Amino acid sequence: WRKEGHYMVCKIAENFLTSEASAAVAKLLPDWAGGELAATCSWADDERRKYPWSGELHFADTQGDCQFIYDRDCHNMKGEKDMCVVGGINNYTAALMNSSAPSVDPTVSLMFLAHFLGDIHQPLHCGSVQDYGGNTIAISWYNRTMTNLHRVWDQDIVDKAMKDYYGNDLSIMTNVIMLNITENWSDEEEQWEMCTSKTKTCADKYAMESAQLACDVAYAGVKQGSVLGDEYFFSALPVVRKRIAQGGVRLAAILNRIFSESG
Ligand code: DCM
Ligand code: DCM
Ligand code: DCM
Ligand code: ZN
Ligand code: ZN
């Protein structure tokens, strides 16, 4: 996602934090965040140049079979293990849980974790290695030529939804998604949070879902040079809304677990 997607994920998470986790997060936030987790959630993109190795932690390349398999898919171009978005989430979660002897600045760990929980829910961040998660699929978005499928999912669908339905107001879109969680998805919401692993996060499950959605929705019917318009937008938007909701709920669940065990 671009900054709007990340902001919504983190704003939703803020609303699902326990008071204990909320207080622990507030202590870790940098001064410039003004006490708002969501203000830090694009930091990992803004500062990518400062942490060159971190670029490959924003996504996982899969093999075009609609699945994410950790041992096969979680490595970078050089083949180094754990260098993918799932490894990033697991490692920064572990770093925050080990707060007595932090090997990484916990503020940095928190900002990476919050960002990667967003990215892992963008289906094309677990898309195919053949097209770099849609980056090499050139398409037209309505009458705009010269964009690519990945950018449509990072930005254009959110932009159009904001403009068409939410008066270009990010806080309205965020609040509507939050209302959906409590009113329409309350049964599913418990499932979203569920993670029985004691030692790891359930991030590989989220990547598996994204890989499947990439096949079923993001890549569906799209070819090099396709012109995407209303039909595509109306199939993609519900998925974008739900993935942002799930990202927020699951980020909160992870932070709630981290800060109840160490507190
Ligand atoms: N990006 C940018 N300027 C920013 C923040 C992000 O150009 N201030 C770009 C970097 C990525 C894309 O946005 O190409 C989204 O990155 P991601 O989906 O990994 O968050
Ligand atoms: N930073 C940012 N956005 C801001 C302010 C600062 O991305 N609005 C960056 C600059 C630093 C990093 O965050 O690289 C940490 O800032 P500080 O040390 O001021 O907390
Ligand atoms: N990306 C991806 N899969 C890849 C390469 C990149 O999902 N194999 C993502 C990361 C950014 C966006 O695509 O969100 C653009 O990447 P970059 O800025 O590295 O070109
Ligand atoms: Zn992206
Ligand atoms: Zn990112």
pLDDT digits (tens, 9 = 90+) for 215-227: 999 999 999 999 9
Whether the CB-CB separation of 119 and 58 falls below 8 Å is answered with yes
For residue 253, report the distance from its CA to the centre of ligand 1, in Å.
25
SS3 state at 41 = coil
Tens digit of each residue's pLDDT (9 = 90 or more) over 162-213: 999 999 999 999 999 999 999 999 999 999 999 988 778 999 999 999 999 9
| Per-residue tokens: 37 | 């987790």
pLDDT at 262 over 70: no
Query: What are 138's strand-pairing partners?
Result: 148
Per the listing, tokens 């030692």 go with 199
Tens digit of each residue's pLDDT (9 = 90 or more) over 18-54: 999 999 999 999 999 999 999 999 999 999 999 999 9
Mean pLDDT of 235-247: 98
Whether the CB-CB separation of 141 and 152 falls below 8 Å is answered with yes
For residue 212, report the distance from its CA to the centre of ligand 1, in Å.
23
Lowest mean pLDDT among 43-57, 60-74, 90-104, 106-120: 90-104
Tell me, what's the ipTM? 0.80
pLDDT at 261: 61
Q: How far apart are the first and last CA of the chain?
A: 32
For residue 41, report the distance from its CA to the centre of ligand 1, in Å.
11
Tens digit of each residue's pLDDT (9 = 90 or more) over 100-118: 777 899 999 999 999 999 9
How far from 15 is each of 23, 56, 210, 252, CA to CA, in Å? 13, 29, 24, 8
pLDDT at 98: 86
pTM of structure: 0.90
Report the length, in residues, of the chain. 263
Q: Looking at ligand 2, which residue's alpha carbon is closest to its atom 5?
A: 32
Q: Looking at ligand 2, which residue's alpha carbon is closest to its atom 17?
A: 30
What does the mean pLDDT of the chain come to? 96
pLDDT at 263: 46
Backbone dihedral angles phi then psi of residue 2, each to the nearest 5 degrees: -90, -170
Mean pLDDT of 6-15: 98
